[in-house]
Amino acid sequence: MASALTRMAYAYDRLRAYPPEVAGRIATAMTSALSGREDPVFLELGVGTGRIALPLIARGYAYVALDKDPGMLEVFRQKAAGVMRKVRLLLADARALPLPDESVHAVIAVHLWHLLPDWPKALAEALRVLKPGGVLLEGWDRVEAEVEWRLQEAWRAFVEAEGVRVERGLHQRRLQEVEEALKRLGLKPKTRQVVAWKEERSLRDALEALEERLYSFTQGVPEEVHRKAMDRLYPWAEEAFGSLDRTFPVQKSFFLRTTRLG
């Protein structure tokens, strides 16, 4: 039976997955930042269940897959089982990398910085293990979905009615802070949109993503308060939108920021 840790990891894996062609476009954008380099080694900080890593691993690249959550790493290990030849799994903290200086050609960080209040440590570690001429590849999704936004705001109102404040928007602010830190080091980060696509999502999936706390803004809320808010949210959603199996459009895009060392 799945433990609570792997249950959340499976939910993450299913609800945050990229369509195959999108995953391929992202992989191509990452490898093109390294073109010309023979047998590059990638390190991903906070690899999760591997939605960024697996297409790169399938293309034969050497990959160090690091995460501090054993549940995420376990689901990643199962998914990568058939293509593990050049993969090293590392259960470790991005703020203290168990790797030598200048040992990898690319460090990938997707949806990670906002989870680390002391992100400068992880950034310093990333730059330490990069070889001269190596690249830091930071990626993030942008999601626009009015229905989902309204659901999340209703959840927030129910939580705040219990006296707990919810902070949103940290992800974008943190990306900005990291960019400023890179520029202060004399580096030149360059951002571009890699791909945009549309998905249909069911209300049930949107509720599950909230319930399983897949969004970082939900993660600091005490369990009892979260439970109460979810108990109010399900009937609220049915009242506002009808059947939970109803789908709604989600506009998504993926951005990549590339910073080359030296």
Binding site for ligand SAM (CB under 6 A): 16, 45-48, 51-52, 67-69, 72, 93-95, 110-112, 115-116
Nearer to ligand SAM, 25 or 111 (CB): 111
Measure the CA–CA gap between 92 and 98, rounded to whole angstroms.
Answer: 7
Measure the CA–CA gap between 81 and 100, rounded to whole angstroms.
Answer: 26
In terms of Cα–Cα distance, which of 259, 137, 107, 105 is closest to 186? 259
Q: What is the nearest approach in angstroms of ligand SAM to the Cβ of residue 156?
A: 19
Q: What is the nearest approach in angstroms of ligand SAM to the Cβ of residue 6?
A: 12
Q: What is the nearest approach in angstroms of ligand SAM to the Cβ of residue 186?
A: 26
Nearer to ligand SAM, 25 or 158 (CB): 25
Q: What is the nearest approach in angstroms of ligand SAM to the Cβ of residue 36?
A: 26
Nearer to ligand SAM, 41 or 137 (CB): 137
Nearer to ligand SAM, 9 or 203 (CB): 9
Helices 203-211 and 223-241, axial angle in degrees (round to 10) = 170
Q: Classify residue 51 by its DSSP letter.
A: T
CA 29 to each of CA 26, 106, 125: distance values in angstroms, whole numbers, following the listed order: 5, 13, 23
Strands 41-45 and 62-67, bridge-based pairing? parallel
